Amino acid sequence: MNDILPEISATWRYLETTVQEIVQSYGYSEIRLPLLEHTDLFKRSIGEVTDIVEKEMYTFLDRNGESLTLRPEATAGMVRAGMTNGLFHNQKQKLWTSGPMFRYEKPQQGRYRQFHQFDVEAVGYDGPDVDAELITMSARMWQRLGISKIALQINSLGTPNGRRNYREALVKYFSGVKNALDEDSIRRLEQNPLRILDSKNPDMRSIIEAAPIMLDYLDEESAHHFDGLKALLDAAGVSYTVNPRLVRGLDYYSRTVFEWVTDALGSQGAVCSGGRYDGLVEKLGGRATPAVGWAMGIERFVALYGACGGESPTSDVDVYVAALGDGTLERAFALAEELRNSIKGIQVELNLGSGSFKSQMKRADKSGARYALILGEQELADGCVGVKPMRSADDQVSVALDELVATLARKLS
Ligand code: ATP
Ligand code: MG
């Protein structure tokens, strides 16, 4: 769990704001969700035989003996919120949310126990058009931010019905190589053979590579949906590769799944992942409602932005107000407030804790301010203020107090 320090928080804020602007421009509205949900919600939605539910959840009993869990992802909570608030009743919803998620994982570069996701979900839409739009929207983020080292993989998981045949084929295949399976996979062979494909164990890789692929078992409608998605991505100029091994770590997906991956961040390459989960609302007790969404890991997003040469936005102080001598602090204090009132967006830092001229100028320099405003006893008596450029060799000038706002507004524009 990390502290996000001031040196990086401006980059976080900038990237989050940019993503918010983009998703809002596609008509998505914000929803804010609790960090805690009943444990059962995650067990039922994510699936009992998944890494998250088996070994990654922060679960505890509250004072009332109820089992609660810190959310490991946002989709389950979003669906729960939509159902309890009637948002899906004869309505479609396009929603986004963001915030911390919690998974008890082995911490390493790009993998943390408290991490952050930006999450987008469209509920009530069943066509490939919305899948394509969600993916295109994410492509727009990379483009807007100059992120190039990223590639899109897509796959289709078909429908739960269609998956039955595939499941049989998988069980047959993996049973034939049972001796080579690791412990997790042997357990999953009985309970949830598809999960074997998501194994992170490198020793399992070659066995998984040779396994039957879902795309060969797609039902006709799912194949049609997948073709529709590809055609729309082609039309939008979003390039992709079909990765028939892409299964995603949660149980609730159907049809479209996709992942934006990078090789610029070492082994934690998944930056933004998502897919369609047509069965989830019904599974959680609602009316059958199609849905699709994605989640982006913000830590990996921030790291990738840096790896692609993205700059941290600077938010430098515009003016530093120095006060020297008797009675000057009150005037300087009022002046700083007046500037904040009069010039929109101006960043004014008032010298706090008095100090000599030299030390106040040192602080002004350190603040990054473009101008220092110097208010001494003489200036106070004359009704003016010294305006000292801090980032150029220009001379200090004296400006009448009643002209200061206009002068500074001009200089800063
Ligand atoms: P991974 O394969 O890396 O474990 P995942 O499939 O578990 O990822 P999702 O549940 O799809 O991940 O979450 C969406 C995104 O959240 C991921 O693409 C990734 O960017 C990010 N993410 C997931 N787990 C973590 C974590 N522990 N620390 C940081 N980011 C994470
Ligand atoms: Mg994971």
Domains in the chain with CATH codes: 6-159+219-307 (3.30.930.10), 319-407 (3.40.50.800)
pLDDT tens for each residue of 148-197: 999 999 999 998 888 888 889 999 999 999 999 999 899 889 888 888 98
Which ligand approaches the C-alpha of residue 248 most closely?
Answer: 1
C-alpha 149/C-alpha 306 separation (Å) is 11
- Mean pLDDT across 13-33: 98
Which ligand approaches the C-alpha of residue 246 most closely?
Answer: 1
Q: How far is the CA of 319 from the centre of ligand 2 (A)?
A: 47
pLDDT tens for each residue of 358-382: 999 999 999 999 999 999 999 999 9
Ligand 1 atom 7, closest CA = 249
**Residue 203 or 161, more confident:** 203
pLDDT of residue 249: 66
C-alpha 325/C-alpha 327 separation (Å) is 6
Which ligand approaches the C-alpha of residue 249 most closely?
Answer: 1
Smallest CA-to-CA distance from 389 within 410, 413, 407, 373 is with: 373
Single-letter code of the amino acid located at 331: R
Single-letter code of the amino acid located at 226: F
Smallest CA-to-CA distance from 117 within 21, 46, 33 is with: 33
Residue 227 confidence class, pLDDT cut points 50, 70, 90: very high
- Mean pLDDT across 78-86: 96
pLDDT tens for each residue of 380-395: 999 999 999 999 999 9
pLDDT tens for each residue of 311-346: 988 878 999 999 999 999 999 999 999 999 999 999
- Residues in Cβ contact with 259 at an 8 Å cutoff, skipping those fewer than 6 apart: 152, 153, 243, 246, 248, 270, 272, 273, 274
Pocket of ligand 1 (CB under 6 A): 73, 103, 105, 111-112, 115, 117, 249, 268, 270-273, 295, 297, 299-300
Question: Which one of 19, 52, 134, 273 would you pick to mutate in the ligand 1 pocket, going by the greatest count of ligand atoms within 8 A of its CB?
Answer: 273
Smallest CA-to-CA distance from 328 within 259, 290, 384, 283 is with: 384
Ligand 1 atom 29, closest CA = 111
pLDDT of residue 195: 84
Q: How far is the CA of 249 from the centre of ligand 2 (A)?
A: 6
pLDDT of residue 114: 98
Round to the nearest angstrom and report the end-to-end CA distance of the chain.
41
Give, to the nearest 10 degrees, the angle between helix 404-412 and helix 328-342.
50
Q: How far is the CA of 65 from the centre of ligand 1 (A)?
A: 30
Write the DSSP string, 4-23. --HHHHHHHHHHHHHHHHHH
- Mean pLDDT across 251-262: 92
| Model pTM score | 0.90
C-alpha 145/C-alpha 254 separation (Å) is 31
